[in-house]
Structure formats: C-alpha cells, structure tokens
A and B are shown apart, each in its own frame.
Chain A
Amino acid sequence: MNVIEMNHVTKVFGKHQALDGLDLAVKSGEVFGFIGPNGAGKSTAIRVLLGMLRTTNGTATIFGKDVWRDAVDIHRRVAYVPGDVNLWPQLTGGEVIDLFASLQGKINEQKREQLLMRFQLDPTKKCRTYSKGNRQKVALVAAFASDAELFLLDEPTSGLDPLMEKVFQQCVEEVKAEGKTVLLSSHILSEVEKLCDRVGIIRQGRLIECGTLNELRHLTRMQLTVATRNPIESLVSWQGVHDVVPTESGWTFHADADEMEAIMQKLSAHGIRKIESASPTLEDLFMRHYEETTESREV
C-alpha cells in the first residue's frame, strides 16, 4: 500500500515552475530517500504534501486522503521536521516540544525524556540561545516522541554534528522497525545510502530516477581499475567506457553496466593481470545524473 502518492503534480510560482509533473509513491513501512540539489523542488514537494502549498495541477494524497482538503486529519498521523527550524525566541525548547506534542495528540513523557537525553538537549534554554543544530534537535525530539505513522523529514540533519547524526540514524531505524514510513529528503548521500530502502532523484521538479539502490546501480557505471599484460591503446574509444585515467600500471575507467560483458571480453584479450571493481556509490549515481545535465546543457 502506498502511504504517499503524488500523481503528476505541478506547482508554479509566478513564472517559476517549481514542480513539473512530479510522480512519487512511498510504500508503507519503507524509508524513502529523496535526493536532489538545492532548488530541485524537494522542499516544495514536501510543503505540498503538508497542505501548505496548493498544487497547480495533479493530485497528492497521504493515507489515501487529499493533502489539501484533509490536511488536519492527515497531520494527526504525520511528524514533520523542516531543514530550517525557526522557533520562537522567547519560548524554551521544552515548551516548544510540549506545544508541538499537544497540538498533535498526547505527549509521551517517557519518550520525550529519553530523546532529550540521547540528543543531549537542555530544554530549559530559550530558543534564541539555541544554535541551528539545537533548534533542529527540538524539532527532531518533538517528531520522534510523537506517535506519528509517517515522518516527513526535510534535510533534518543539516546542522547536526556527526555524533548527533548517528543518534538521528538510530531513531530512523527504530521507527522503521516499528513499521512506520519515512520520507527523508537529504543531500547527505551517505546518510541516505545507509538508511533508505528506496531512493528517488529529483531534478527541476521531476523525479528522474527512482528505485532501490541495487536497481539504480544496474542503470549506472561500475568503476574498474585494470592492469594488463599487453598495453591497451584504444581503450578510450571502446563502447561503454568513460572517464579513462591512466594509472602506474594500467587504467582506471567507468564502464556502463549493459556493456560490461563486451568490455570484459576485450579486456581479457589483452591478458588481465589485475582487476579491481567498485560498485558505484549513491554519490556517483547522483553526480552522473547531474553531470549529464550539465553536459547536455553545454551541447
């Protein structure tokens, strides 16, 4: 069952097309990674899902309900953490957490205390004295202390230190273990790689790639480092070979997944002495998609 469904959603601000036919489906119980650079439309998509922005076209539902019309109903079961957490300078962190919890339902005292401890947050400090990371912790504590079934997290760790990022990752794993759904928008790709079951890459308001990491890897290139007995002169011109760089004893290059068989045959004809392969990281995937755009734009 899909918890989130966006069908061909467009959103236009004046002349700027922020979302351009975005299709997105997040299944119940999965952690979905939503990646893309600044300005690609991640936050707009999340704000549409929260019923803050009205779609220009297309439909968006959460739990099968319309995100605009049934916003309040949906929000009872949703926890949202923005990337830029602006709080009221005159309230304390503890007051804000309680306020948030009571606006949503009831407060789970035990969870709250436990999370405050794990995130090492002093709830008696006024929000004006909090750093960006601490303000983010306030929102994270409020979110994870709730009984929400869906977590909409919009770059939630951009201000956290590595230790706190770890705590955050544990929290996500815990809610996932409870069968809850998470939409994690991020550009910290290692975090997405570690946590997410499926990944969607957004560019210029469209979802250009979506699937599990394994599926995405198939679509992309493998990094190979080879040393051969006979030198390979024509490697650069081989079908499916990219980014050729000479090394001390051979070459490093990227190979298209669907040309792999042919490349291996040609390589073995030169007598392979050593071969190393690295499966692409999410970063490689991501960079490839964006490099392609810059390349095609230059053409």
Chain B
Amino acid sequence: MKGVPFSGVLRLSRFIIRQDRMRYLWWLVGIIGMTLIVPPAFNELYPTEQDRNIMAETMKNPAMEAMVGPGDLANYTLGAMVSHQMLLMTAIAVAIMNCLLMVRHTRAEEEDGQAELLRSLPIARHSQLLASMFTLFGVNSLLASLIGIGLYSLSFESMGLSGSLIYGASLGAIGLFFAGVTAVCAQLSESSRGAVGLSFTIMISCYVIRSVTEWIPPFGWLTQVQPYSDNNWVPVVGLIGTSILWFVLAVVLQGKRDIGSGFLPSRSGRAHASILLRHPIGLAWRLQRTAFISWSIGMFVLGLSYGSVLGDLDSFFQENDLLASMIVADENSSLTAQFLPTLMAVLAFISTIPALLSIHKVVGEERKSRVEHLLGRAVSRKKLLVSYLVLALFTGFLMLSFSALGLWLAGTTSMEDPFTFPMVWQASIVHFPALVMMIAISICLIGVAQKATGFVWLYLFYGFLTLYLGGLFQFPNWMEKLSPFGFVSKLPIEDMNWLSAGGLLAVAVILLIFGMNRYNNRDIEG
C-alpha cells in the first residue's frame, strides 16, 4: 500500500457507521426533535406581533444577551425569535455531540488498543482520523439538511426556505468546527478522558468569551448568522473553513507522534502510593482529580461571567424605566434579583454534569475490567459504590458553591447594590436536592441497566429544556414537574419550599437504596 496515504478510508468510514449508527440516530433524533418542537410552541404562545414585541423587550437586557446572543429584536418575527433563543443553545448540544463522537472514534480507539489492530492492516496512518472526519462530516451534513428541511416544512410564514437552510447549515458548521477542535485535542491528550475534557474546556471558554465579546469564533460568528433576518452566509463559510484548518492541524500532529502517545507530557511518578491512595475512595478521587479541578475552575469562571453581567443588568434597569415598569413582579426583591433564579438554574444544570460524570465513572471502571481489582480484594460492592457516591455528592455540592462564589464575586464588584454571599449561595444550593435525585437515578441505572446509563443525560437535558423554555413561555406546569429541577424553589424571589426539597431527598434516598441493592446482586461485567 505504498504511495496510498489514505487507503482504507471508505472502508473504515463504513465500519464506523456500522458500529455507531444507533448512537448517531439518537443524537440526531434528540437534536432535530428539540429544534422542531420549538417553533410551533412559540407560535402557540406568541401568536401576534404584539406578543412577540413584549417578549423582545424583555430580551433586551445584557443577561439574556450573554446567554443567547444578540437577535433581531426590532423585527421579532417567529423565525427571528426561534433563531435568537434557540440557535446558540442547540449549537452547544451539537458541539457536545461532535466532541464525544470524535473522541470515541479517535483517542478512545487508540487507548483501548483497537486502533493498533486496525493500523496493522494495510491501511494508512491517517486513515482512521480521516474516516472519523468523513463520518462526522456526513453526520453534520445530515443534521444540517434535516433541520433545514424540517424547519421549512413546518411552513410558518416568517420561516422561509433560505432561512431554514441557513439555520441548519450553521448548526452543521458549528458541529464540524468542534469535530475539528476535538480531532486536535485527541492528538494532544494521551487519554480519551483528557481529550473530552480539553475539548469541553475549549467549548465552554468559547461560550464564555462570546458573552463578553462578539465576533469571536465560533459562537460569536454563529450569532452573526441571524437566520430568518440577515441570513448571513459569511460566518457559516468561515466556520467550515476554520474547521478544515483544524482537521489539517490534527492530521499534521498525528503524523508527528507515535501511536498511543500525545503531545501533553506525562511525567514519571512515585514508586509508592500515598496514604490517601490506599482506600477505594482515595483511588476514585485520584482518578477524577484532574477533571474535578478543571470543572471547579470552569464553574467558577462561568459564575464570574454571569456575575459580571449582573452589574450591566443593574445599570440597564436604572436607565430603562419602561422595561422596569413592565416586569416588576415582586416588590421585595430588586429587578436584578428576578434574574438570579434563572441564572442559578443554568449554573445548576451545568454543575450536575460533573457530578453525574463522577458517579458514572464506576461503570466506566467496570467496563474496563478494573473494578475486579478492587472487588477481587477485600472491598465490598457497597463500599465501592458508596465511595463513588460520596465523591459525586461532594462534587455536585462544591460545583454549585463555586459557581455561586464566582457569580457573587463578580456581582459584588459590578453592582451598586450587591447581593450578599449567603443569598447567592442559597439560590444555588437550593438545587442540591434535585442534583442528588439525578445521581440517585444514575445509581439505579447502574444497578439495573448499566448499559443504559446514558439515558440520565437525556433526562437532564429534558429538565433543562422544560425549565429554560418553560420559564420563558409558560409550558404546562406538569412538564416541568417531570424533572426534579421543576421542584426547586426559585430563591430569592420565592420562599423556600422545604416540603418539596425534603420530598426530593426522600425519593432520592429510596432510589439510592434500591439501586445499591440491585448493584449488589448483579453480575460484574468486564
């Protein structure tokens, strides 16, 4: 196969598709479904131009702009509203999909040794990487076309063909961009976890930076597309162009390294284990330490960025009497405080991710046949699972606290009448029972159906959607209540509902006990 640098690419692409077709299907169904549900819902809730203009007024504030980006608020048609409020959030889901899939096809295969097997066959060094790129190019193109056609087929007046196509295309382009970023991360880091962590860090930083400065790729470019109003193709082309640069960089980097190695250095270590590393919980901590530290920093920074917006919001309200008169709801709390529960809810959803990752580590370890080293020694399953549980709870609690700390710190320096730390912290930690509930659901899945643990992500996402959209557009109440986050009191504008918090915890404890019991009584795989 000399002289054929990319031989086997098509075959490998087919192989990847065959392996992961169900995974693609679920991602596509999820993202497309979430996109197509929204326009009819908006149309129902805001049938007239007047309704939409009121919505546009409430969106005219720095906090919302930080979260969803700028929109065509002057001409807030149904299409403009959908693209304003949904495009950036959907783009993040698409980016997550691409990060996870790309790592799965590249670094994870290499880590598990499958890459070595494949590469010993007459296929070229870059073929696997290229096959992954081709496959994800296909997935993103499919996503783009289906969303474009799907939105158009809803046949709303303000959602024409070109707007729908560009909406889909911009999501596909952001997907490709992050597929490219992740392809590079997979060359840098030596482990698949590290690669996922690195690409998520880049993604979150990009999101945060965008809220400060527009026109920074990729999310800054994305929000310039403005489907259904400007229909600006330039940023889409820019995103696709940049993603090609990422891909080229990934191929070049791969050409410079040995299989299994990375560019970020790994140091030689200690000959003896520390005292901490002599207990299952010490091991669990050690395995998650890096991720924990990165997430802590991430949550703190995210809190800071939201907090800095609070100051802008504060001054904005003081200048804008019309808006102030419009949304006064509660005389006891300031206008800015009205926004606190929404910000905290978003931070709480993101804080749940590291907590769930932490508890899922125990199944990951099982799949890699590493728990047998512990269970084969004098460690009971209960002790093992409780170790991971304690760590997950600890992670969730601290993530909520760090994001509150960041928000409070930035708010204090930018607001005229700043919040007290206890108030911010309470508004954040009030989500803890819901977070515990999510962990308990994960434990149940781990005990009953360890292959289906991924479903908890869908559930988390459902909670986010119902709360995020429901809060803005009055979805039926029961839809929110299907997620534990629907039972969280909106501090500080609501009173603390101890009953629902206690109820959540009680149900969580029952689920925990059930899940642990099942885990104790099932086969350990691996």
Question: Residues of A with Cβ closer than 8 Å to B?
Answer: 47, 50-54, 71-73, 75-76, 78, 80, 82, 84, 86-92, 94-100, 102-105, 123-126, 128-129, 139
Can you report 21 A-B residue pairs in the complex whose CB atoms are below 8 A from each other? A52-B524, A72-B379, A75-B375, A75-B379, A78-B376, A89-B190, A90-B286, A91-B286, A94-B271, A97-B273, A98-B273, A98-B278, A100-B373, A100-B377, A103-B279, A103-B280, A103-B377, A125-B268, A126-B268, A128-B190, A129-B266
| Given A53-B524, A98-B277, A128-B266, residue A86 in contact with residue B377 (CB < 8 A) | no
Judge if B378 is at the interface, Cβ distance under 8 Å.
yes
Question: Contact between B190 and A99 (Cβ–Cβ < 8 Å)?
Answer: no
Question: Contact between B375 and A51 (Cβ–Cβ < 8 Å)?
Answer: yes
Among all A-B residue pairs, the 8 with the closest Cβ atoms? A98-B273, A102-B278, A92-B269, A94-B271, A52-B524, A103-B377, A95-B273, A80-B376
- Total number of B residues with any Cβ neighbor in A under 8 Å: 37
Contact of A52 among B190, B274, B277, B523 (CB under 8 A): B523
| Given A95-B270, A99-B277, A99-B278, residue A75 in contact with residue B523 (CB < 8 A) | no
Question: Contact between A95 and B380 (Cβ–Cβ < 8 Å)?
Answer: no
- Residue-wise, chain B 253-296 has the 8 Å CB interface mask toward A (1 for contact) of 00000001000001111111110011110010011001000000
Q: Distance in Å from the Cβ of B382 to the closest Cβ of chain A?
A: 9
Question: Contact between A53 and B269 (Cβ–Cβ < 8 Å)?
Answer: no
Question: Contact between A89 and B191 (Cβ–Cβ < 8 Å)?
Answer: yes
* Whole-angstrom CA separation of A113 from B280 in the bound complex: 24
Grouping DSSP codes into helix (H, G, I), strand (E, B) and loop, the B interface class, with mixed when no group exceeds half, is loop
* Whole-angstrom CA separation of A212 from B336 in the bound complex: 84
Judge if B481 is at the interface, Cβ distance under 8 Å.
no
Question: Contact between B378 and A84 (Cβ–Cβ < 8 Å)?
Answer: no
Judge if B318 is at the interface, Cβ distance under 8 Å.
no
Interface 9-residue window, one of B364-372, B468-476, B499-507: B364-372
| Given A87-B370, A88-B370, A90-B191, residue A104 in contact with residue B377 (CB < 8 A) | yes
* Whole-angstrom CA separation of A52 from B522 in the bound complex: 8
Question: Contact between A86 and B271 (Cβ–Cβ < 8 Å)?
Answer: no
Residue of A nearest to B266 (CB): A126
* Whole-angstrom CA separation of A102 from B369 in the bound complex: 20
Residues of B within 8 A of A86 (CB): 368-370
Judge if B374 is at the interface, Cβ distance under 8 Å.
yes
* Whole-angstrom CA separation of A92 from B274 in the bound complex: 12
Residue of B nearest to A148 (CB): B377
Question: Contact between B270 and A52 (Cβ–Cβ < 8 Å)?
Answer: no
A71-B375, A80-B376, A88-B287 given. 11 additional CB < 8 A pairs?
A50-B372, A51-B375, A75-B377, A88-B283, A89-B191, A90-B287, A95-B269, A96-B273, A99-B278, A104-B378, A124-B270
Judge if B521 is at the interface, Cβ distance under 8 Å.
yes
Residues of B within 8 A of A80 (CB): 372, 376-377
Q: Distance in Å from the Cβ of A56 to the closest Cβ of chain B?
A: 10
Question: Contact between B380 and A52 (Cβ–Cβ < 8 Å)?
Answer: no
Q: Distance in Å from the Cβ of B288 to the closest Cβ of chain A?
A: 10
* Whole-angstrom CA separation of A50 from B524 in the bound complex: 10
